[in-house]
Amino acid sequence: LRPYVFISLSLLCAFYSAVDTNPLSVYVMHPFWNSMVKILPTWLAPNLITFTGFMFLVLNFVILSVYDYDFYASADGHVHVPSWVWIAAGLFNFLAYTLDGVDGKQARRTNSSTPLGELFDHGLDSWACVFFVCSMYSVFGRGASGVSVLTLYYLLWVVLFSFILSHWEKYNTGILFLPWGYDLSQVTISIVYIITAVVGVETWYQPVIWNLHYRDFFIIMILGCLFAVTLPMSLYNVSKAYRNNTLKHSSMYEALLPFFSPTLLFILSTLWLSLSPTDILEQQPRIFYLMVGTAFANVTCKLIVCQMSNTRCQPLTWLLLPMAVVVLLVFFGVVQQSEIVVLYVWTAVVVFAHIHYGVSVVSIPT
């Protein structure tokens, strides 16, 4: 559990090539961020801005864990989350989104752009996915007006897959095409939090039209962003690079290597749910989501390092090997009486391993 990954920053690409064509981002958010960055003092480090924004999302996750640990608080007949929590959630989410957009501008403004900053920014973004998805889940919950924990599990994977697609593109094309769905989702989430604070969760109980509830429109938005926008654009950009002979990897095997570990993680986590003797997802959904999201972030960070340093992506992340052992223990019924304890211990191991990797990967050997 000690992946000493020492990457010399001199090996990382100093040129950051990204394309953002989202109208919301180009015409609304970037002008807003350009104004906001002028307020910040020049001594404020971009990495500190990045980390602060990430911690706002973690804080949302923690606060909602206190008031809605099992995702039932928004259901009819349960004690609802206080209005001030939703106000805080809306402000924190928008602050996190704003700081994520400002950090790069601050780096260019102060002439302090570094490959480490890019790695830190995108690495935390990959981990942030699980925090804002889980926090948003508390708005609808798993009551009659919400979705089941299993449905949210698959929706979480849709978000995770949407995220890694962009870095798969850069791994193959050398250019990071920023996904359209991110900006739309962050603005929408912030607005929904504030609306919930004002009118209460009861407003989401009633159908909007026919038998379609608000939760159905969110599901449509999440799936639509992936299958109607992100995935087609990713395939188009990679195929365009292939036609122009600018694809960085000549074989299909090499081009698809970044998907091996995420796919295996999805298989292992889904098998665990299917084989669980105690229905672990029903009992501990929040912890299970955290485990999956953190393991995914670890896989994605390694891909980010590879695409930044122009090195080959490894087909298997070492963290998935002990996870396979855990799933086997579940399959053979060895942990039937202590499955929840195993989940907590394994989640702690995954979180520690990911933090340790993040510290190790930016350490330069002397």
Cβ-based burial of 327 (10 A; exposed 0-12, middle 13-18, buried ≥19):
buried
Q: Which two tokens stand for residue 158?
A: 């849709």
Q: Of 30, 78, 80, 122, which residue is the catalytic one?
A: 122
Residue pair 285/293 in contact (Cβ under 8 Å)? The answer is: no
> Long-range contact list for 184-190, CB < 8 A, 24+ apart?
184/22, 184/24, 184/221, 184/225, 185/221, 185/222, 185/225, 186/93, 186/94, 186/97, 186/132, 187/24, 187/94, 187/97, 188/221, 189/93, 189/132, 189/136, 190/90, 190/91, 190/93, 190/94, 190/97
Identify which of 338, 347, 348, 281 has the alpha carbon closest to the alpha carbon of residue 71. Answer: 281
Under the phi-then-psi rule, with left for phi > 0, alpha for psi from -120 to 50, and beta for the rest, what region is 141?
left
Identify which of 125, 345, 239, 259 has the alpha carbon closest to the alpha carbon of residue 117. Answer: 125
The yes-or-no answer on residue 354 being catalytic is no
H/E element holding 176?
Answer: strand 176-177
Radius of gyration of the chain (CA): 21
The catalytic site residues sit at: 122
